[in-house]
Amino acid sequence: MTALGLPAHVRACLFDLDGVLTKTAVVHAAAWKEMFDAFLARRDGPAFRPFDPVADYDEYVDGKPRADGVRSFLASRQIVLPEGTDDDPPDADTVQGLGNRKNLLVLARIRKEGVEAYPGSVRYARAARDAGLRRAVVSSSANCRDVLIAAGIEEFFEVRIDGIVAKERGLPGKPHPDTFLAAAKELGVAPGEAAVFEDALAGMEAGRAGDFGFVVGVDRVGQAEALRRHGADTVVDDLADLLEDAT
């Protein structure tokens, strides 16, 4: 293993954003809960079963493109809604409308609470840059660039494949590996020469499906075994642990 805790053949690092680089996964989970609980309460009345911001978030929405997350959770409750269109108003009971409502909620929370990067992730990204490894951010978020700028870490990454880029190129989101594969291609490395850093189960599956050289699971919520089952080669609580393990 190298000083970065990676196999020697790894030449590039592909980082997820929310929950790996920035402390925004909890913000997203809270926004999903607020949106889904309001929808379910309207639909089912006071006896509705709330959205679980841990179990439902991890299983159905974490790491996925927004509309895929909406569809996945609704399917778990046997709810079918019209697809709608991208410009549906946020009060529309459509897949796109619910997704737009969630996006407004998360942006409001980010504006109010700000964005903070994990210090260990900043250390690791800087170490990867200093070691000459190529670096990309791969996120399903359409707000990726704004979050990177707000967190003060945009400078560490050469390539960004986010929700906007994926839509423009017609790339399916995680758990499909296509966005990670696109990032590796732009960095000029083969998948087997790239390490994937993810905290979402869907991200683990994408890393495994793309035959990447190493898949690092970042366990922020106590799901280490689930990360391993879904494809992680190693699991750490924080990216700085990889630096310490290598010393």
Q: How many CB atoms are closer than 10 A to CB 78?
A: 6
Q: Report CA 153 to chain centroid distance, whole Å.
A: 16
Vertex 44: Cα angle to 43 and 46 (nearest 5) = 120
Encoded tokens for 112? 């109010």
> Tokens 């639909």 sit at which residue?
43
Tell me whether residue 146 is one of the annotated catalytic residues: no
Give per-residue burial for 106-116: e unless 16+ CB within 10 Å, then b: beebbeeeebe
Backbone torsions φ then ψ of 161, nearest 5 degrees = -115, 105
3-state secondary structure at position 203: helix
Residues in contact with 217: Cβ distance below 8 Å, sequence separation at least 6, in sequence order: 198, 199, 204, 224, 227, 228, 230, 232, 234, 235, 236
Euclidean distance between the first and the last CA atom of the chain, given in angstroms as a whole number: 10
Catalytic pick from 16, 178, 219, 241?
A: 16
Catalytic pick from 18, 162, 199, 238?
A: 18
Cα separation values, 211 from 47, 110, 150, 176, Å:
45, 34, 32, 12
Tell me whether residue 130 is one of the annotated catalytic residues: no
Residues serving a catalytic function are: 16, 18
